[in-house]
Amino acid sequence: MTRKSRATPAGTMAPKARKPAGGPGQALDDRLASGEAVVAVIGLGYVGLPLACEFARSGLRVLGIDVDASKVADITAGRSHVQDVADSDLRPLIEGGRLRAGTDVSVLAEADAVVICVPTPLRKTRDPDISYIVAAVDAIAGHLHRGMLIVLESTTYPGTTEEVVLPRLEATGLRVGRDFFLAFSPERVDPGNARFKTRNTPKIVGGVTPRCIRAAKALYARAVDQIVPVSSTRAAEMVKLLENTFRSVNIGLVNEVALMCDRLGLNVWEVIDAAGTKPFGFMPFYPGPGLGGHCIPIDPHYLSWKLRTLNYQARFIELASEINGSMPQYVVGKVVDALNDQRKSVRGARVLILGVAYKRDVGDVRESPALDVIKLLADRGAEVRYNDPYAASIAVDGGTIYRSVPLDRKALLASDLVLIITDHSAYDYRFIVKHSRSVLDTRNATRGLRGEGRERIRRL
Ligand SMILES: NC(=O)c1ccc[n+]([C@@H]2O[C@H](COP(=O)([O-])OP(=O)(O)OC[C@H]3O[C@@H](n4cnc5c(N)ncnc54)[C@H](O)[C@@H]3O)[C@@H](O)[C@H]2O)c1
């Protein structure tokens, strides 16, 4: 059920603090339009920090709140921990007083709008962990005031905004659509994407009431070029899950096609490239060592969990997850084959992994398949080292720390196998292949290489 019936016509309430003719909603619109509004962003990670910067650049005063004091200290010193935000972009916003970071939630009392960008991981049982959302909302409830707009951006299951966030805010006695405004607007950030950033990526917005959507549109109009309203918060929540499920399922499909091509003795990359010449009705996805990052491996499970509560099994999601989750094991099988060709066992073999980030040209190793591959190889007794220009050290299986080694001729020659897990553009693949004894390329990064060493390359 939507709450449209609660929409309050402009002018039906008498706010205590500010008294413009149109009520608290109008006051908020006016303050956003004039640039007087103060926006708080809760959670200054990959999503929250770029958004906070975009609001600050638009002329609003931004209060960034994070529970991690070291992140706050770095941001305050003008040092960005997010690759997509350059220090040179952050520093002027801090020095000019447009963006202030802190751990104290009491600043929410001065905020006209609050955007929640906290993590939404899975529990060990693969059920949603919305405890970060709940903590953020409880902090807001303590400072909720008339005319305030609250927007949830964290990816979550359909219903979270109205079933979890709304009751906590209304427990204060204030009413949505009349006293405060509540919306869901999924983040679509694509880390490392040089073309599409916060400003030029269209923003989906769903409000609890029409007045809520109007307030959220007024907020995002400051920072985003195109806003796409949808009819409800649930629809907005579902849009994000469709987008990420679409990727997960298509990657799962193409990973299975890779497994099938292997059995058929076919080169899956050739097949995809040829299919990709079809100018309609086909969109190429590429196989790889498995899914990673904070979104694609996790978000679809938010949807399947919700559907389970409604006695429905989300079959595509489960199957894609099973296939994608099996890819690290498949890669290890290929490592065994490649070493076998050299009459070597995995135990004692020196394997150099290139790239541990979950995708090209980023340093994020969350859920990266490289971590699984390293663990599987180490468990079998391989001597594993890695290089990644973006990740100086990693913790595998919650404990063992590995540090990136220099990528030079000596390191390549000293390895029985070089395993390309992440196809960073900074790598000189010609050099790598030339000086390696054997290369297993899980990303087709060495495509197009001619000359010395080509015969030493195996592909997924
Ligand atoms: N990273 C992405 O590419 C991406 C893309 C789209 C959507 N999302 C979604 O956005 C949300 C945030 O993801 P992220 O990658 O930015 O996570 P992140 O871990 O990089 O950042 C979240 C931040 O929130 C902070 N935090 C946690 N609890 C808090 C609290 N109660 N109060 C204040 N701060 C708190 C953490 O310390 C952390 O700095 C998730 O729901 C994610 O699924 C992420």
DSSP secondary structure string for all residues of 33-95: HHT--EEEEE--STTHHHHHHHHHHTT-EEEEE-S-HHHHHHHHTT--SSTTS-HHHHHHHHH
Whether 53 sits among the annotated catalytic residues: the reply is no
User: Nearest C-alpha to atom 23 of ligand 1 is from which residue?
Assistant: 43
Q: Which residue has the higher pLDDT, 390 or 10?
A: 390
Residue from 66, 81, 185, 201 whose mutation best tests the ligand 1 pocket (most atoms within 8 A of CB): 66
Of 1-5, 39-43, 62-66, the range with the lowest mean pLDDT is: 1-5
Task: Please say if the pLDDT value at position 14 is more than 90.
Answer: no
pLDDT tens digit sequence for 315-338: 999 999 999 999 999 999 999 999
User: Nearest C-alpha to atom 37 of ligand 1 is from which residue?
Assistant: 68
Ligand 1 centroid vs 277 CA: distance in angstroms? 38
User: Nearest C-alpha to atom 41 of ligand 1 is from which residue?
Assistant: 154
Tally of residues, the chain? 460
User: Could you give the 3-state DSSP secondary structure of residue 400?
Assistant: strand
Contact residues of ligand 1, CB 6 A cut-off: 42-48, 65-68, 71, 117-120, 132, 135-136, 154-155, 187, 189, 191, 294-295
pLDDT-based confidence at residue 16 (cuts at 50, 70, 90): very low
403-417 average pLDDT score: 97
d(CA 155, CA 120) in angstroms, rounded, equals 7
Q: Which residue has the higher pLDDT, 8 or 350?
A: 350
- CA nearest to 79, candidates 97, 57, 95: 95
Sign of CA dihedral 233, 235, 238, 244: negative
Q: CA 108 from chain center: how many Å?
A: 25
**Cα atoms found within 13 Å of the Cα of residue 3, Cβ hemisphere only:** 25
Positions of E strands within 208-269: 227-230
Task: Please say if the pLDDT value at position 12 is more than 50.
Answer: no
d(CA 367, CA 369) in angstroms, rounded, equals 6
d(CA 110, CA 107) in angstroms, rounded, equals 6
Cβ burial 184-200 (10 Å sphere, 16+ → b, else e): bbbbbbebbeeeeebee
The rounded percent of the chain whose pLDDT value lies above 90 is 87
Token pair 């292949």: residue: 433
Report the nearest atom of ligand 1 relative to the CA of 82. Answer: 20
Active-site position among 117, 212, 261, 295: 295
92-99 average pLDDT score: 97
- Please give the angle made by the CA atoms of 64, 69 and 70, to the nearest 5 degrees: 105
* Ordered strands of the 457-459 beta sheet: 383-387, 350-354, 417-420, 439-441, 457-459
Ligand 1 centroid vs 189 CA: distance in angstroms? 12
pLDDT-based confidence at residue 18 (cuts at 50, 70, 90): very low
307-313 average pLDDT score: 97
Task: Please say if the pLDDT value at position 41 is more than 90.
Answer: yes
Ligand 1 centroid vs 128 CA: distance in angstroms? 14
Cβ count near 73 (within 10 Å): 12
Token pair 């290890």: residue: 332
384-395 average pLDDT score: 97
State the amino acid at position 80 in one-letter form.
S
d(CA 439, CA 231) in angstroms, rounded, equals 51
- CA nearest to 359, candidates 404, 309, 297: 297
